[in-house]
A and B are shown apart, each in its own frame.
Chain A
Amino acid sequence: MNDAGMWLAGIAALPVLVIGVSFLRVEVEHLRRLAVASAIAMLVAALVIPLSPAVRNFSLHTSALSWIPGGEDVVRVDGLSAALLPFAAGLWLLTVAVTPRASLDQRGLRRTAVTTLITLASFLTESAVVLLVLSAASVWTFLSALADPVHRYQRRVVAMYLGASTLSFAIGVALLVGPGVQNTAFETTGMWLIVIAALIRKGIVPFHAWVPEVFDHGRLGPAILFNAPQLGAYMTVVLIVPRASPEMLRAIALLALGTAVYGAALALVQRSARRACGYLFMSQSALVMAGLDCTSVTALAGGLLVWLSAGLAFAGLARCVLVLEARRGRLDLTTYHGGYDRMPVLAITFLAMGLACTGFPGTLGFVGQELLVDGAVDVFPVMGFAVVIASALTGLAVLRMYFSLFCGRPEALAHPGLRLGLRPREAWTFVALVTTLVGLGLAPRPLADSRFEASAEILKLRQQRVSGGLAGSTTTPIMKRR
């Protein structure tokens, strides 16, 4: 293994270290400190990847798996994953840094490290079989978070939906890897099964009912960490976009656009903050999916940017809800809770994260959504209008939540001396998150350019496959469509 490989191994070793130490008798707070330090180190190391050509073009080949779609590249770093690795590290850091002390134990910290490791490994492979294994592992990790009897119902709901997704994915891959399946009904069926797996995983209507249920009555923390990286989007980019027929992509995009509007509309009328988060996630996740399934370089680059911005912004927003819940209990959106003056940093963070979700100017989300609309408007004009409506509704939902959670007369404290403000660790993490999203929103060029390059690579691959006859039977050349 060369230096680049060692670098990647070092990054992967950090969550492994936390997993290992979590089995020892260590105090939870000490383990959290180790996890925070590991996440920071992982983030810094991952940020080196886009800057270093050697690591950015690293790949580990094997001829043994060459019969699987993307199987020859078991480990591969490219333009797409170069930005996704820091993203995964950032999500881990956010999780371990702001989770309230009362909500954390050794198993929980271990689970965050395992989930991060799986996410990291997923972003480093393009092999369908490896992705399938990792996808099943992530579902298993999520189910283990719902193992307590209180969440038996939610566990069964998740098991049913995500089990079906994993099964569909497995059958789809099995159909694709069979001998002589190119341009046959097996290939088309296999592709559709993988599409359905991705749709369930991303909570796209009509496969979405598990998302609000898990966010509302399940465990919000694991739900954020499971959903925010959007492995379903990665499956789509790596396995579906290069191979699917235009009709297939259009069908996915239409479903995704409907979900974006649906999720935002339902988030607007929720009584529970958790459930509203669930619907907001559906809407954001669908917006990413719609962008990824649009065959224009600009729209795809927009989709890749929205993936990063919506993932971080949504995770930040939902984490704010968790931090508030730790201080106030379950949050009802039909009343005004007040408390801006007690927690101004949290209030500003919540608002900034919400606005980033809506694509408000000055945040990374704005640039992503602009590119998405701009690129899609020629090939798929309806997308522009759907994004506009979804964005308007999301904005209203976010502001309604903000007004309810931070405005109004503050509730009386149980004890006069009780301090409800953020701890420095929490405050600085939120400040860093806002700075990142606003900073990238004000100076988006390097990241946006890298997303353009990644999207050009993906569409080039698709072009090669289409001209090689590997795409679905009803394909038309992509460049002609554009």
Chain B
Amino acid sequence: MTLGMPSVPLTVLVLVGVGSPALLLMLLGAASLINRPLSERWTGLLAGSSISLACGALLLAFIVYGMTSTDSRLLSYGAWSTSHDGGIAIEFLVDRLSLAFAVLSTAIAGVVSAFSNRYLHRESGYNRYFVLLAMFVLGMLLVALAGNVAVLFIGWELVGLSSALLVAFFQERPAAVSNAFRVISVYRISDAALLSAAVLLRHLAGSGSLSLLFGGGAGSSASLTTSNATIIAMLLIVAVACKSALLPFSSWLPRAMEGPTPSSAVYYGSLSIHAGCFLLLRAAPLLEHAPAARALAGLLGIATAVFAGITTRVQSDVKSSLAYASLTQVGLIVVEIAIGWYTIAFIHLAGHACFRLLQFLSAPNVLHDLHGLEEAMGDRGGRERRFALLTSDRARQRLFLIALERGFLDSLLDRVVVETFNRGARLLESLDQRLCDLLLPTRPSAALEGSDRDE
């Protein structure tokens, strides 16, 4: 491995890059915890300077190291959880891809932070927003730079939680809260799939180091058989599909638009929705070792692009339309990764993230100018005519209906997963109660109340 600069500065630069949003999170979080939030001025200043510092440090690392070296390098900051075997080590895998994505993440987050500072002025949840934004930036950086499964998982979870809590930002609206719960439900599937992949990787390869899989080179993934690599890759694809709203997990995406516009921009326009694509790019060596998983990723990408392309044409509000438009591009990026066009995929990802960020951030102005959501998207009849390519009226109407109902994915999910789960759980619960009643048949009605005295 070659290194274009002394190793200490690179270690320090990456540490500053990751440590700066971590400190911001701790500071803002502690102030919120003791109910003494900082003033808007200080919060905005700290957030802006912290994210800028992170961006500057990582940009410097990218210029000095990324430009001069094509190899990946594992930076280890030592054992964190314990000095014994089996603990979590703080390790970052640094190469062109990870540094570029980290710089992109901080740059976009910096823009959104500056925008939010004015956009959310005097909003009651101003501080809460910046705590969650700091959590998100830290999570994205950990995902980008993760050198082992534990660090990747920490980042993945931070991104997921901050995302759901920002969807519920306007927490007095029941719709926002119930949509946030939907979002976090899908994210938990993603977390579970990623962690299962990690468990399996550790069991089969005997190591949780991502440099084995993500580092590329001849040795990567070699310790895994094709079938093992396929299983791990499939689990990763499930994690990616949930995080990036690929089919069949797309239905949460329009629900996530309940959050404030800057958060929609940074999560579902530019960064969070691409986190899955980035993970697939990182896992490219593993995908190459698992052709079936690669084919599945390609199929999912095509299906998602077509579905989102059709759906975006009939959305009645600008943010949902933009969200599905983003999804179309995400599907295409996944296809590019499945084909093996990694460089094109990353350029597509970066370009699309910046473009969509701009569109999302300007959406409130469009709404303001046109005085309403419907006006911003044109009338429904006009949207139906967008399927004019189809000659049959019936086919056009059907397609319109499917697009309008977003593929009926929500109702399908409700009927197949939620209702089945609820029914099963209720059955088990009634068995629990029956077990008590069986042992003691006389349950007095007063026994159904709790007590006032509960020391």
164-217 of chain B: CB within 8 A of chain A: 164, 168, 171-172, 174, 177-178, 180-181, 184-185, 188-189, 191-192, 195-196, 199, 202-203, 208
Evaluate contact between A445 and B81: CB separation under 8 angstroms: yes
Evaluate contact between A378 and B203: CB separation under 8 angstroms: yes
Evaluate contact between B199 and A388: CB separation under 8 angstroms: yes
Evaluate contact between A408 and B451: CB separation under 8 angstroms: no
User: Given the interface contacts A154-B447, A375-B86, A445-B80, does A392 sit within 8 Å of B188 by beta carbon?
Assistant: yes
Closest to A209 in B: B435
- Residue A344 CB within 8 A of the other chain: yes
Separation of A130 and B85 alpha carbons in the complex (Å)? 36
| A341 proximity list for chain B (CB < 8 A) | 124
* From A111, A149, A410, contact of B455 by CB (8 A): A111
Separation of A384 and B153 alpha carbons in the complex (Å)? 15
Q: Contact flags (1/0) for A232-269 with B, using CB distance below 8 Å? A: 00000000000000000000000000000010011011
| A444 proximity list for chain B (CB < 8 A) | 80-82
- Residue A102 CB within 8 A of the other chain: yes
| B218 proximity list for chain A (CB < 8 A) | none
- Residue B158 CB within 8 A of the other chain: yes
* From A150, A392, A410, contact of B449 by CB (8 A): A150
Closest to B424 in A: A265
Q: Which of A9-17, A191-199, A219-227, A460-468 contacts B (4 or more CB under 8 A)?
A: A219-227
| A149 proximity list for chain B (CB < 8 A) | 446
Separation of A400 and B185 alpha carbons in the complex (Å)? 10
Evaluate contact between A219 and B451: CB separation under 8 angstroms: yes
* From A212, A338, A388, contact of B192 by CB (8 A): A388
Closest to B172 in A: A409
- Residue B123 CB within 8 A of the other chain: no
- Residue B428 CB within 8 A of the other chain: yes
Evaluate contact between B454 and A385: CB separation under 8 angstroms: no
| A212 proximity list for chain B (CB < 8 A) | 429, 432
Evaluate contact between B446 and A371: CB separation under 8 angstroms: no
| B124 proximity list for chain A (CB < 8 A) | 341
Closest to B32 in A: A348
| A150 proximity list for chain B (CB < 8 A) | 446-447, 449, 451
Per DSSP, chain B at the interface is helix
The distance from the CB of A269 to the nearest CB of chain B, in whole angstroms, is 4
Evaluate contact between A210 and B436: CB separation under 8 angstroms: yes
Q: Which of B246-254, B343-351, B355-363, B437-445 contacts A (4 or more CB under 8 A)?
A: B437-445
The distance from the CB of A58 to the nearest CB of chain B, in whole angstroms, is 25
Evaluate contact between A152 and B86: CB separation under 8 angstroms: no
Closest to B170 in A: A407
Evaluate contact between A269 and B82: CB separation under 8 angstroms: no
Evaluate contact between B436 and A213: CB separation under 8 angstroms: yes
* From B157, B189, B203, contact of A361 by CB (8 A): B157
User: Given the interface contacts A344-B32, A345-B33, does A268 sit within 8 Å of B451 by beta carbon?
Assistant: no
- Residue A170 CB within 8 A of the other chain: no
- Residue B422 CB within 8 A of the other chain: yes
Evaluate contact between B86 and A408: CB separation under 8 angstroms: no
Per DSSP, chain A at the interface is helix
Evaluate contact between B453 and A219: CB separation under 8 angstroms: yes
Closest to B30 in A: A435
- Residue B7 CB within 8 A of the other chain: no
- Residue A201 CB within 8 A of the other chain: no
| B439 proximity list for chain A (CB < 8 A) | 157, 160, 209
Separation of A193 and B94 alpha carbons in the complex (Å)? 55
Separation of A88 and B399 alpha carbons in the complex (Å)? 63
Separation of A445 and B82 alpha carbons in the complex (Å)? 5
Closest to A150 in B: B446
- Residue A140 CB within 8 A of the other chain: no
Closest to A206 in B: B435
The distance from the CB of B241 to the nearest CB of chain A, in whole angstroms, is 16
| A210 proximity list for chain B (CB < 8 A) | 436
Evaluate contact between A434 and B33: CB separation under 8 angstroms: yes
- Residue A216 CB within 8 A of the other chain: yes
Chain B interface size, as a band, is 35 or more
| A262 proximity list for chain B (CB < 8 A) | 428
138-166 of chain B: CB within 8 A of chain A: 150, 153-154, 157-158, 161, 164
- Residue A449 CB within 8 A of the other chain: yes
- Residue A43 CB within 8 A of the other chain: no
* From B158, B168, B429, B448, contact of A407 by CB (8 A): B168
The distance from the CB of B206 to the nearest CB of chain A, in whole angstroms, is 8
| A427 proximity list for chain B (CB < 8 A) | 35
- Residue A301 CB within 8 A of the other chain: yes
Closest to B78 in A: A445
* From B181, B199, B432, contact of A384 by CB (8 A): B199
* From A265, A344, A362, contact of B35 by CB (8 A): A344
User: Given the interface contacts A370-B150, A408-B174, does A449 sit within 8 Å of B192 by beta carbon?
Assistant: no
Evaluate contact between B450 and A274: CB separation under 8 angstroms: yes
- Residue B426 CB within 8 A of the other chain: yes
| A217 proximity list for chain B (CB < 8 A) | 447-450
Closest to A221 in B: B454
- Residue B389 CB within 8 A of the other chain: no
Separation of A336 and B176 alpha carbons in the complex (Å)? 11
- Residue A168 CB within 8 A of the other chain: no
Evaluate contact between A220 and B450: CB separation under 8 angstroms: yes
- Residue A186 CB within 8 A of the other chain: no
The distance from the CB of B260 to the nearest CB of chain A, in whole angstroms, is 15
Evaluate contact between A99 and B425: CB separation under 8 angstroms: no
Evaluate contact between A407 and B171: CB separation under 8 angstroms: yes
Evaluate contact between B447 and A153: CB separation under 8 angstroms: yes
| A298 proximity list for chain B (CB < 8 A) | 84-86
* From A105, A265, A396, A408, contact of B177 by CB (8 A): A408
323-358 of chain A: CB within 8 A of chain B: 325, 330, 336, 338, 340-341, 344-345, 348-349, 352, 355
Evaluate contact between A371 and B82: CB separation under 8 angstroms: yes
Evaluate contact between B199 and A403: CB separation under 8 angstroms: no
- Residue B393 CB within 8 A of the other chain: no
- Residue B365 CB within 8 A of the other chain: no
User: Given the interface contacts A209-B436, A360-B157, does A266 sit within 8 Å of B83 by beta carbon?
Assistant: no
| B436 proximity list for chain A (CB < 8 A) | 157, 209-210, 213
User: Given the interface contacts A103-B453, A219-B453, A377-B199, does A153 sit within 8 Å of B443 by beta carbon?
Assistant: yes
Separation of A391 and B150 alpha carbons in the complex (Å)? 15
| B199 proximity list for chain A (CB < 8 A) | 373, 377, 381, 384-385, 388
Task: Report 29 cross-chain contacts, Cβ distance below 8 Å, ordered by A residue.
Answer: A103-B454, A105-B455, A108-B453, A111-B455, A150-B449, A210-B436, A217-B448, A217-B450, A218-B450, A218-B451, A265-B428, A301-B82, A301-B84, A322-B454, A341-B124, A367-B88, A370-B88, A378-B203, A388-B192, A389-B192, A392-B192, A395-B188, A399-B181, A400-B181, A403-B178, A403-B180, A434-B33, A448-B82, A452-B84
The 7 nearest A-B residue pairs measured at CB: A108-B455, A298-B86, A384-B199, A153-B447, A221-B454, A448-B82, A361-B154
Q: Which residues of B contact A (CB under 8 A)?
A: 32-35, 79-88, 124, 150, 153-154, 157-158, 161, 164, 168, 171-172, 174, 177-178, 180-181, 184-185, 188-189, 191-192, 195-196, 199, 202-203, 208, 421-422, 425-426, 428-429, 432-433, 435-436, 439-440, 442-444, 446-455
Given A338-B171, A407-B177, 20 extra CB contacts under 8 A? A99-B455, A104-B453, A111-B455, A153-B444, A157-B436, A221-B453, A265-B425, A325-B454, A361-B153, A362-B154, A367-B81, A385-B196, A388-B195, A391-B195, A392-B191, A395-B191, A403-B177, A410-B172, A431-B33, A448-B87
